[in-house]
Amino acid sequence: MKILLLLSAVFVFLSAHAQNVPFERSSFPDDKDGLKAALAEIKAGDRIFDKEPMSYYNLAVPHYRKAYDFNPNNAEINYKLGVCLLHSDSKREALPFLAKSRELDPDYDAYNIHYLLGRAYHINGRWTEASDHYRKQLNTLKRDKKADPEAFETIRKYMEEAENGKVLTAREERVWIDNLGPNINSPAPEYAPLISTDESLIIVTARRPDGTGTLRDPSDNLPYEDIWYSRKRNGKWLPLMNMGEQINSTGHDAGSGLSPDGKTLFVYKSTPRNHGDIYYSEFRNNTWTEPKPLGKHINTSAHETSAALSYDGNELYFISDREGGVGGKDIYVSRRDPRKDDWGPAENLGSTVNSPYDEDGVYIHPDGKTLYFSSRGHNTMGGNDIFYTEKVNGEWQKPVNIGYPVNTPDDDIFFSVAADGRTAYYTSVRKEGYGNKDIYRITFLGPPKEPLLTVEEQLFAGSDARRTEIPVQPEVKIRTSRMILLKGTVIDDKTNEPVNAAIDLIDNKTSGVVATFESDPATGAYLVMLPAGRNYGLNINADKYLFNSMNFDIPDTAVYEEFYKVIRLKRILIGESVVLRNIFFDYNAFTIRNESEAELTRLKDLILENPQIKVEISGHTDNVGGDAYNLELSENRAKAVTEYLTRAGVPQDRLIYKGYGKTQPIATNDTPEGRQENRRTEFKIIE
């Protein structure tokens, strides 16, 4: 009886562990044709596996799959299929094949199998199993006196990433991650999304077979990169369109960065003289100009890739692996030299931001204070993770991992954030993808609201009774932007035709020009970013037009808002008048404040540049206070402006001043906002 039980146990053990089945006639005596076809597929796969670089391994997968379908219980075919998948965009599928190979034959490639299994478990987020196999691989290396020292470093790095993964995935962020769908994504790789600040334009790099050229890159047999774009209509992205031969060549052309207003595109181009450079193209008259290379401080004989322009156009952040860096690819910044109208010497952001490994995909948010990038260093959970750092008192802080599930054990890269700070786009390889790298939209939901207290809980709120603890999710890594987004069109006041105007953004405290934007000549469209913490004057001017001005006083505590405004410019004609919105007086006084200097300088220049005109400066008040008092105050303020202009060089005979008190309101006096509109200074062409 005991013998029967023992034999039964042995039978159960053998049946539970599949046996390695060789691709031989003895294993398949009744299917010679099937065996012959399977062997032919193995031979075709081996030609790639044995001779081609690992970037070609994905081409061997279809051959090995057919052989596997014929005989799934062979250690070698499971091993080779697993290895090929591990070096493709289908990495997650490698695990069952590698695990089965080891089960069928524990001695098959015993030297490397624990490393491969560690990577397969790692990419599937199974951190404990990954760490176990990494440790076993280290033990294998320690027994090999000829082992490459870099192999030890690589394994230890992966073990560190697995530990990071345990921590990061234990704190799931509250986000929605949505594939942008078939209008943007396809079975081919789409990546490096670049978005305008208002999310009206997206530019994507793709390796589609229907691109500009028909050639393939011999390093991986994929089509060369092309740049594509889509615009949003009625809240949906239109199908991607190729940007054409003006931008794309027969070689690699990749989107490298996009200015916040969507009018300057940075392009990575492979060049024969070095590893690749950054070019720029400008959107003018509804078309993109031919890309031109950036200067010598940006492009070198090294590899320069992604770039990001600050909201004011004065700083360019970019990636380079030039000598003297902290690691491989590092983040650098160059500042515009206004004297030479070019970029100045590049400065490495230092070891706080740059790691000993590669950084890539840099993006500076329009708030001017938050830098996003991808890194293989810091506390990544594997591949490239998305990080951000904030500038405090002029110094970049320690980078923060954006968290799970935005970051995964695979590569997550090229992160672009919309103006509101709660919407972002990036490249990822996920199960719900269309077959390769895809573009995803991330919506950060913020921390959950605490549930309302029940009546019973309210009764006990002041006693020693305790509520059941409710788990609180960690703080979301992205917060609402503290800035204003202003967009609209600039048009002729009479004809409503678009006007190509310069828009100066002025810090009224210093009277300095922070940035200059431009409305599109064909449409009049403009987009301006106003980070919090300043009193801004906007001065809009165009040739043969009176300038227009606006004022935005944005405190540090302001939350994100978006405004649409049509700016109407008036031609320089008799009878036309303009409100000077950036001339400020002390309360109930006629002393001109220093913040008015930029506006007054602009007015002086306008009068001197048009010697044929004579101007009336007028003062106006709201209806608070007596008639006589308001009339006197308004006249004194108009007189103060006139005297300032005279001292600045405007001939006195070209100026008159007049006070109108509260007699000419342009808004209601029933609200604080209306009364503010009515308290104003104007100038009017009278001759």
Confidence of residue 278 (pLDDT cuts 50, 70, 90): very high
Domain that holds residue 62: 20-169
Tell me whether residue 8 is in a domain.
Answer: no
243/314 same-domain check: yes
Predicted confidence (pLDDT) at residue 447 exceeds the cutoff of 90: no
Encode 488-535 in three state secondary structure. EEEEECCCCCECCCEEEEEECCCCEEEEEEECCCCCCEEEEEEECCEE
The one-letter amino acid code at 292 reads K
pLDDT top residue among 3 and 253: 253
The helix/strand/coil state of 331 is strand
Give residues with Cβ within 8 angstroms of 661, minimum separation 6.
620, 621, 627, 630, 631, 633, 634
CATH of residue 589: 3.30.1330.60
Q: Do 619 and 660 form a contact (C-beta atoms < 8 A)?
A: yes
527/646 same-domain check: no
* Peptide bond before residue 193 is cis, with ω within 30 degrees of 0: no
Q: How far apart are CA 278 and CA 319, in angstroms?
A: 10
Give residues with Cβ within 8 angstroms of 639, minimum separation 6.
590, 657
Tell me whether residue 472 is in a domain.
Answer: no
226/328 same-domain check: yes
pLDDT of residue 586: 80
The one-letter amino acid code at 434 reads Y
Task: Read off the pTM.
Answer: 0.84
**3-state DSSP: the chain helix, strand, coil percent, rounded to 5?**
25, 30, 45
CATH of residue 499: 2.60.40.2190
Tell me whether residue 201 is in a domain.
Answer: yes
567/577 same-domain check: no
Q: Among candidates 600, 565, 557, which has minimal Cα distance to 581?
A: 600
Predicted confidence (pLDDT) at residue 571 exceeds the cutoff of 50: yes
Domain end point (choices 103, 134, 169) = 169
Q: Among candidates 340, 349, 292, which has minimal Cα distance to 318?
A: 349
Q: How far apart are CA 208 and CA 210, in angstroms?
A: 5
pLDDT of residue 469: 37
The token duo for 500 is 């190509």
Predicted confidence (pLDDT) at residue 470 exceeds the cutoff of 50: no
Tell me whether residue 451 is in a domain.
Answer: no
What's the whole-number average pLDDT of the chain? 88
Q: How far apart are CA 62 and CA 66, in angstroms?
A: 6
Tell me whether residue 75 is in a domain.
Answer: yes
584-637 pLDDT, tens per residue?
888 888 888 888 888 898 889 889 989 899 999 999 998 888 999 989 998 999
Q: Do 646 and 652 form a contact (C-beta atoms < 8 A)?
A: yes
170-206 pLDDT, tens per residue?
988 889 999 999 999 999 999 999 999 889 999 999 9
Instruction: Look at the block and give the residue holding tokens 């991808």.
Output: 374
Compute the C-alpha angle 522/284/363, nearest 5°.
Answer: 125
Q: Among candidates 108, 112, 48, 57, which has minimal Cα distance to 78?
A: 108
556/430 same-domain check: no
pLDDT of residue 458: 47
CATH of residue 43: 1.25.40.10
Query: Looking at residues 298-325, what average pLDDT do you find?
Result: 93
Domain end point (choices 138, 169, 200) = 169
Domain end point (choices 105, 140, 169) = 169
Tell me whether residue 295 is in a domain.
Answer: yes
437/343 same-domain check: yes
pLDDT of residue 251: 87
Predicted confidence (pLDDT) at residue 468 exceeds the cutoff of 60: no
Q: Among candidates 320, 406, 327, 319, which has minimal Cα distance to 371?
A: 319
Give residues with Cβ within 8 angstroms of 10, minimum separation 6.
none
pLDDT of residue 273: 66
121/76 same-domain check: yes
Q: How far apart are CA 18 and CA 98, in angstroms?
A: 14
pLDDT of residue 466: 35
Confidence of residue 450 (pLDDT cuts 50, 70, 90): low
578/437 same-domain check: no
Tell me whether residue 194 is in a domain.
Answer: yes
As beta bridge partners, residue 426 has 440
pLDDT of residue 531: 87
Q: How far apart are CA 193 and CA 186, in angstroms?
A: 14
pLDDT of residue 130: 96
Query: Looking at residues 290-318, what average pLDDT do you find?
Result: 93
Q: Do 280 and 265 form a contact (C-beta atoms < 8 A)?
A: yes
pLDDT of residue 10: 36
143/192 same-domain check: no
pLDDT top residue among 159 and 532: 159
Query: Lowest-confidence range among 123-127, 163-167, 610-614?
Result: 610-614
Predicted confidence (pLDDT) at residue 67 exceeds the cutoff of 50: yes
537/674 same-domain check: no
508-567 pLDDT, tens per residue?
888 888 888 999 888 999 999 888 888 898 899 999 998 888 888 888 888 888 889 999
Phi, psi of 192 (to 5 degrees): 50, 60
Q: Do 194 and 255 form a contact (C-beta atoms < 8 A)?
A: yes
Total domains in the fold of the chain = 4
Predicted confidence (pLDDT) at residue 367 exceeds the cutoff of 90: no
The token duo for 68 is 């596997």
The H or E element spanning position 109 is none
Confidence of residue 462 (pLDDT cuts 50, 70, 90): very low
The token duo for 650 is 């405007």
Confidence of residue 5 (pLDDT cuts 50, 70, 90): very low
Tell me whether residue 458 is in a domain.
Answer: no
Q: Among candidates 240, 176, 169, which has minimal Cα distance to 203?
A: 240
Predicted confidence (pLDDT) at residue 460 exceeds the cutoff of 60: no
301/363 same-domain check: yes
Q: What is the torsional sign of CA 578, 581, 583, 586?
A: positive
Query: Lowest-confidence range among 311-325, 361-375, 419-433?
Result: 419-433
Give residues with Cβ within 8 angstroms of 143, minimum separation 6.
none
31/148 same-domain check: yes
Q: Do 333 and 316 form a contact (C-beta atoms < 8 A)?
A: yes
Query: Looking at residues 86-101, what average pLDDT do you find?
Result: 93
CATH of residue 375: 2.120.10.30
pLDDT of residue 347: 96
Predicted confidence (pLDDT) at residue 9 exceeds the cutoff of 50: no
